[in-house]
């Protein structure tokens, strides 16, 4: 399956970055097997978790008092629930998310879960719909960029490896694009 992203990669092998936790291998049938571990809990995760607890300690009582006084006013609190949920997801759930990706000659499958215990998402399809992988800046935390690998597949884009070092994600993107070329 050729694409603009995958076609840009030459067939030479890229060295795995020193200290990389991601792994890449190939099955006997030539299927690319990638494992991208969870980034893990760090100081940003702890601070985000503390912020989420503080945030919800204000939002929950406010919502309950609005529900008790008639209910309709509680709709005002929906954006506050969404904002708190987004922060909790980015700082607690995403760093705990591990990914297994297999790309065969005819089909691909992506499984994301919480460190091998609970499967959160399973996606797949024909390999020809994969367009390639790129590494992008996901956010800036205190002026420092955090990166994520984006896998383009048909109309969807899948985020993989948020919080891992950029060099490691570039290597994984290279492996994907080289396999698709």
Report the C-alpha gap between 4 and 107 in whole angstroms.
Answer: 19
Report the C-alpha gap between 116 and 112 in whole angstroms.
Answer: 9
Q: Residue 80 is encoded by which pair of tokens?
A: 């506050």
Burial 151-164 (b: 16+ CB within 10 A, else e): bbbeeeebebbbbb
SS (H, E, C) the chain: CCCHHHHCCCCCCCCCCCCCCCEEEECCCCCEEEEECCCCCCHHHHHHHHHHHHHHHHHHHHHHHHHHCCCHHHHHHHHHHHHHHHHHHHHHHHHHEEEEEEECCCEEEEEEEECCCEEEEEEEEEHHHEEEEEEEEEEEECCEEEEEEEEEECCEEEEECCCCCHHHHHHHHHHHHHHHC
Residue with tokens 């607890």: 53
- pTM of the shown model: 0.67
pLDDT per residue, tens digit, the chain (181 aa), is 444 454 444 444 577 778 778 888 888 888 888 888 877 776 777 777 788 888 888 888 888 888 888 777 778 888 888 888 887 777 777 777 788 888 888 999 988 888 667 777 788 889 899 889 999 888 777 788 888 889 998 788 888 887 788 888 899 899 899 888 8
Handedness of CA 159, 164, 170, 172 (dihedral sign): negative
Q: What is the pLDDT of residues 125-139, one digit of tens each?
A: 898 998 899 998 887
Q: Give the pLDDT of residue 150.
A: 92
Q: Give the pLDDT of residue 116.
A: 62
Residue in 169, 117, 128, 120 with CA at minimum distance from that of residue 152: 128
Q: Give the pLDDT of residue 67.
A: 85
């Amino acid at each position: 399956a050729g694409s603009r992203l995958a076609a840009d990669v030459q067939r030479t092998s890229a060295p795995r970055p020193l200290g990389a936790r991601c792994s890449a291998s190939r099955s006997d049938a030539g299927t690319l097997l990638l494992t991208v571990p969870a980034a893990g809990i760090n100081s940003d995760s702890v601070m985000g978790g503390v912020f989420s607890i503080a945030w919800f300690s204000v939002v929950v009582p406010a919502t309950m008092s609005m529900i008790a006084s008639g209910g309709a006013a509680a709709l005002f609190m929906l954006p506050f629930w969404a904002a708190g949920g987004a922060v909790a997801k980015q700082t607690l759930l995403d760093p705990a998310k591990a990914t297994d990706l297999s790309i065969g000659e005819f089909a691909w499958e992506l499984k994301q879960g919480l460190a091998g215990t609970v499967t959160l998402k399973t996606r797949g399809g024909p390999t020809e719909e994969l367009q390639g992988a790129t590494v992008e800046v996901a956010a800036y935390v205190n002026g420092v960029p955090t990166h994520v690998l984006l896998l383009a597949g048909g109309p969807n884009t899948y985020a993989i490896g948020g919080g891992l070092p950029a060099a490691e994600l570039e290597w994984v993107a290279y492996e994907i694009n080289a396999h698709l070329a």
